[in-house]
């Protein structure tokens, strides 16, 4: 008890933020219950209470679909590949950028690197479609000149996921590297000085100084990615996919989206959302335990 009094100022500091979470996150959280009801969204609050309780009906609809396993598998594969390639990329990019000595060049390259982040997926998808068009697309025609065959990339199940991952990495590498660069800038330069004097080369300095110093950022960002494992990039997939590639490209969110096109399906969407949240929670909990065990501060 005495400790609480001693730390009272910190509680005062935390209070406004906590109140925000209570009001804007915990109060509406009851709304997640629409996953267990048959809701008609327009009846407002009263309608929420009046709506019939249907238990696990929506969850059953989801899990009993003939495409349930396909959709989950696609989501995990696409998301997994995006993490596999897209997570280290900004870190490596930041490390490379760190090595550049000419300030102006470094600044320019860094600024240019986040431009893709500002180009919306609609335009990016448009560019991808134009580059990969079977007749006239820049990339397709170039490949045709070399190999003599015209590949329909966007309709090809073997290439489609690769296209998703590549365009995703391209779009996010610059912006994601900002946080790592910010962390790197706090490293005491004296550490590098003494390492250099000891004869360490670049790679060794990166391995033993830079990376450990930014590890606390890497961990938290990795946890964020893991928490988003079931988000495989809805907008991007929706803009690029088609029935030809449903088998590899249909993810949880596009599945729910098409259901919503048939009729308003708020309860169904809420049920799937809850399903994803529960899984994300367990993933994060496990990942965090692992991180803690490895001596890192994770989520708590």
Partner 1 sequence: MKLLYIIFSSVIIFMFSTVVKADEHDFVIFNNSGLLQFDGGGSDPAVLQRVSDHVAKLSGVRPMVIVPSLQDTTEQLNLLLAGSNPPDLFQADWDVYKSTLMPLNDLLKEHGQALLGSIPDTSWQYMTDADGNIMGVPRTAATSPYMTWVRQDILDEAGLDLPKTVEDLTAYMAAAQKINPDFKAGTRAWSTNKWEEPAFGFAAGFTGAMSYNAAFIDPSDGRAKPLPLADGIKDYLHFMNDWHNKGYWYPDNWSKFDESEVFRTCNIAMWSGWYSRITIIVPKVVSACPGMEYVRAPIMGPKGWIATTRPSGTSAYVINKKADNPEAIMKYLNWIWNDKSMEGYATGVNGIEGEHWSYEKKGFPAIINTKDKSDTKYVGDFGLPNFPYEGNMQPNDSLWATHFNYLGSGLTNLSDSHHPIDLFMAWDKGRLADETPSLGDVHRMIAENFTAFYTGERSIDEYDAFLAELDDAGMQDWIDAMTRQMQESWNN
Partner 2 sequence: MKNPYKTEIFYNYIIIGVLLILTLSFLLPFIVVLSTSLIGEAEWAERGGHVLYPKKISLVAYDILFGKSYVLFNAYQVTFLRVTLGTFCNLLFTTTLAYALAQRDLPGRIPLTFFVFFTMVFNGGLIPQFLLVDFLNLRNTIFALFVPTLVNGWYFLIMRNFFMNIPKDLIDAAVIDGASPVRVLISVVLPLSMPVMATIGLFYAVYHWNEWFYASIYITDNQLKPMQIILRGLLNYASMDGMENISFMEQPPPGASLRAALIVFSTVPILVVYPFIQKYFVKGIMIGGVKG
User: What is the footprint of partner 2 within residues 51-90 (CB under 8 A)?
Assistant: none
Beta carbon nearer to partner 2, 84 or 100: 100
Residue 35's φ and ψ, nearest 5 degrees, are -65, -20
253 lies in the binding site for partner 1 (CB under 8 A)? no
Cα distance between residue 144 and residue 227, in whole Å: 41
Q: List the one residue out of 207, 297, 269 whose CA is nearest residue 62.
A: 269
**Contact with partner 1 (CB under 8 A) among 28, 261, 293, 300:** 261
Assigned token pair, 270: 């809420």
Is residue 63 within 8 A of residue 271, CB to CB? The reply is: no
Centroid of chain to Cα 114: 16
Q: List the one residue out of 34, 60, 124, 63 whose CA is nearest residue 252.
A: 63
96 lies in the binding site for partner 1 (CB under 8 A)? no
Report, in Å, the least distance between residue 26 CB and partner 2.
7
Report, in Å, the least distance between residue 143 CB and partner 2.
17
Which range touches partner 1 (CB under 8 A), out of 43-51, 85-93, 105-113, 201-209? 43-51
Tell me the angle at which helices 68-86 and 252-262 cross, rounded to the nearest 10 degrees: 130
> Which residues, numbered 148-187, are part of the site for partner 1 (CB under 8 A)?
150, 152, 154-155
Question: Mask of contacts with partner 1, 5-34, x by CB under 8 A?
Answer: ----x--xx--x------------------
61 lies in the binding site for partner 1 (CB under 8 A)? yes
Instruction: Give the end-to-end CA distance of the chain in Å, rounded to a whole number.
Output: 22
Centroid of chain to Cα 271: 21
**Contact with partner 2 (CB under 8 A) among 70, 156, 159, 273:** 273
Interacting residues toward partner 1 by CB under 8 A: 9, 12-13, 16, 40-44, 47, 61, 64-67, 125-126, 129-130, 133-136, 150, 152, 154-155, 239-247, 250, 255, 258-259, 261-266
């Amino acid at each position: 008890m005495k400790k609480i009094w001693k730390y009272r100022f910190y509680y005062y500091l935390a209070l406004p933020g906590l109140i925000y979470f209570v009001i804007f996150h915990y109060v509406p959280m009851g709304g997640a219950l629409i996953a267990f009801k048959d809701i008609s969204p327009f009846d407002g609050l009263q309608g929420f209470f009046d709506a019939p309780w249907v238990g696990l009906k929506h969850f059953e609809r989801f899990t009993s679909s003939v495409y349930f396993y396909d959709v989950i598998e696609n989501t995990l594969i696409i998301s997994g590949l995006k993490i596999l390639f897209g997570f280290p990329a900004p870190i490596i990019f930041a490390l490379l950028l760190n090595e550049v000595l000419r300030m102006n060049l470094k600044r320019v390259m860094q600024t240019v690197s986040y431009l893709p982040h500002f180009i919306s997926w609609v335009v990016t998808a448009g560019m991808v479609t134009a580059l990969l068009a079977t007749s006239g697309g820049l990339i397709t025609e170039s490949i045709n000149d070399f190999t003599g065959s015209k590949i329909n990339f966007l309709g090809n199940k073997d290439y489609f996921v690769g296209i998703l991952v590549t365009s995703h990495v391209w779009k996010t590498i610059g912006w994601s590297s900002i946080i790592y660069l910010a962390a790197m800038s706090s490293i005491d330069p004296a550490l590098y000085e003494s390492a250099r004097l000891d004869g360490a080369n670049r790679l060794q300095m990166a391995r033993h100084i830079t990376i450990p110093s930014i590890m606390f950022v890497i961990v938290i960002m990795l946890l964020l990615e893991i928490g988003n494992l079931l988000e495989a990039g809805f907008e991007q997939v929706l803009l690029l996919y088609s029935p030809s590639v449903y088998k590899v490209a249909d993810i949880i969110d596009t599945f729910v989206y098409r259901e919503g096109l048939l009729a308003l399906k708020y309860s169904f969407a809420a049920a799937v959302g809850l399903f994803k949240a529960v899984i994300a929670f367990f993933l994060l909990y496990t990942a965090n335990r692992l991180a803690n065990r490895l001596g890192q501060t994770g989520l708590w």
